[in-house]
Amino acid sequence: MFLYNPFDPLYLVLVLPAMIFAMWAQFRVSSSFKKYAQQRTMNGLTGAGAAQEVLRQAGVFDVRIERVSGNLTDHFNPRSNVIRLSDSVHDSPSVAAVGVAAHEAGHAIQYATSYAPIKLRAGIIPITKIGSMLAMPLVFLGLFLEWTGLINLGIILFGLVVVFQLITLPVEFNASRRAMRILGDSGLLSREELPASKKVLSAAALTYVGALALSLMQLISLILRANRRR
């Protein structure tokens, strides 16, 4: 019996709606970025410039800013202390690019100020990676062998993935709040420009909500299916 039969009531009621929401969230962030990438900043500020200024305003001076290939592949690497901005953000003087770059600077500031949730998230990443790789195979094997211990172990490991995504939400929201506050207080963006950048970051935040919703529904489905098989 397949774990996710598309005609199974558990899939139709729990997993499918969450999957549709997650897909919609991904579409919304890409469409929002595309829309506001057309709105140039009044002062000509680029994504790289915004990240540098946000860091300076926060008193963080040891973080490098580099370009990375791809579209919306922006991220902060705490191990190398580098903000990597994608081709569509690094040199772009748009309110969308400024918002994304400032958000990544917000993550760098979180590490610099020892923000507790991001430290916790970083600490459980190795366990979460193991969980994401082994959870489903263990559940499949446990169902096939009718071995309850393997099923439970797989569910626990998948539960760790859900915990990681739950911790990720406040981390992402906090990084955006830090970014928007500095952009506004410092005058890097005008009052007219701030709402556009905020919309891009709000759309991006929805992707994390969607990922959490999907994983949570998958976890509930796993638990219900395991109990049903027993």
> Looking at the annotation, which residues are catalytic?
104
The helix (H) or strand (E) run that includes residue 66 is strand 64-68
Q: In which residue are the tokens 């305003």 written?
A: 57
Provide the H-helix boundaries in 91-147.
95-112, 116-145
Sheet holding 75-77, edge to edge: 64-68, 82-86, 75-77
Single out the residue of 228, 214, 223 nearest to residue 151, CA to CA: 223
182, 188 in Cβ contact below 8 A?
Answer: yes
**Cα gap 163→161, rounded to integer Å:** 5
**Cα gap 202→30, rounded to integer Å:** 12
The token duo for 198 is: 């905020």
The token duo for 160 is: 């760790």
175, 163 in Cβ contact below 8 A?
Answer: no
Measured in whole angstroms, the distance separating CA 216 from the mean position of its chain's CA atoms is 15
Torsion of CA 219, 156, 171, 107, to 10 degrees: -120
Q: Which letter does DSSP use for residue 143 in this model?
A: H
